[in-house]
């Protein structure tokens, strides 16, 4: 089974602080590429990110706190 890393992509905003909001899918749940996966908050705006692969949401490594672009947030198990 392939573990696909979930990282925080560039959010397209200049922000001093990006705060992890919430996972929109629970660990162990199936996800399809394009499903809304998690959200972050930056400068009073929430940004929702989609799954970049299909599979099962595996390990969740971040659930709260400050994050940076490129941070590893979890894994999707594909295959």
Among candidates 16, 14, 56, which has minimal Cα distance to 33?
A: 56
Distance between CA atoms of residues 50 and 33, nearest Å: 7
Q: Would the pTM count as exceeding 0.85?
A: yes
Mean pLDDT on 74-78: 97
Domain membership of residue 29 as a residue range: 2-78
DSSP SS3 for 33: coil
- The pLDDT of residue 29 is 98
Residue 73 belongs to a domain with what CATH number? Answer: 2.40.50.100
Phi, psi of 46 (to 5 degrees): -100, 140
Number of domains in the chain: 1
- Angle (CA) 15-50-60 rounded to 5° is 85
Confidence band of 11 (pLDDT split at 50, 70, 90): confident
- The pLDDT of residue 27 is 97
């Amino acid at each position: 089974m392939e573990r696909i890393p979930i990282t925080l992509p560039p959010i397209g905003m200049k922000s001093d602080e990006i705060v992890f909001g919430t996972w929109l899918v629970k660990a162990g749940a199936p996800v399809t590429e394009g499903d809304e996966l998690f959200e972050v908050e930056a400068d009073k705006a929430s940004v929702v990110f989609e799954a970049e692969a299909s599979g099962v949401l595996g390990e969740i490594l971040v659930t709260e706190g400050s994050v940076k672009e490129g941070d590893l947030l979890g894994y999707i198990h594909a295959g």
